[in-house]
Amino acid sequence: MDPPMEDGMGNPTTAQTAFAAGAMTSGPFALDVEASVTAEGQPIVCTLDADGGNMTARIGEWQAILAQASGRERTDDSVAVTFDHDIARTAELARLLAAEYSCCSFASYHLTIDARGVRMEVRTPPEARGVFDAVFGTAD
């Protein structure tokens, strides 16, 4: 499935815009980050394409679930996305976060379920922030 072309209001999605511009199509998944490393020396590289994955399909999966978000928040080192409680959606979020870690292990992925709802948080080194903002969005 291709990533959605619109956000439901006729506007191109951020990830679709970045994808169309070629920012996320070549593997490893790097704008100018492929030569970068984290402060701990870990390479900032996505191995999804190299491991036989499909970047277009993955972005489509993220866009489909992120369209159901109730809010987004940006911190200095992360983007957090909140959702209402839904068992199936929470299971899908956990699956996607685990899949994301398998190809982009330089970031950390967190899922919190409590009385406020479901909160997904992705923390990235500064060098990779733009790529993750393109996929997960920025604060509302």
Tell me the mean pLDDT in the region 32-53: 76
- Kindly tell me if the per-residue pLDDT of 63 is higher than 70: yes
Contacts for 130 with CB less than 8 Å, ≥ 6 apart:
31
More confident residue, 27 or 90: 90
Cis peptide before 4 (omega within 30 of 0): no
Q: Which two tokens stand for residue 18?
A: 């970045």
Q: What pLDDT sits at residue 36?
A: 82
What does pTM read for this prediction?
0.72
How far apart CA 44 and CA 126 sit, in angstroms, is 10
More confident residue, 28 or 114: 114
| DSSP element (H, E) containing 81 | strand 78-83
Between strands 71-74 and 78-83, the pairing is: antiparallel
User: 3-state class of 117 per DSSP?
Assistant: strand
- Kindly tell me if the per-residue pLDDT of 52 is higher than 50: yes
Q: Which two tokens stand for residue 25?
A: 């199509």
Q: What pLDDT sits at residue 127?
A: 81
- Kindly tell me if the per-residue pLDDT of 31 is higher than 60: no
- Kindly tell me if the per-residue pLDDT of 2 is higher than 70: no
Confidence of residue 128 (pLDDT cuts 50, 70, 90): confident
- Kindly tell me if the per-residue pLDDT of 11 is higher than 90: no
Confidence of residue 68 (pLDDT cuts 50, 70, 90): very high
Q: What pLDDT sits at residue 138?
A: 66
CATH tag, 14-136: 3.10.28
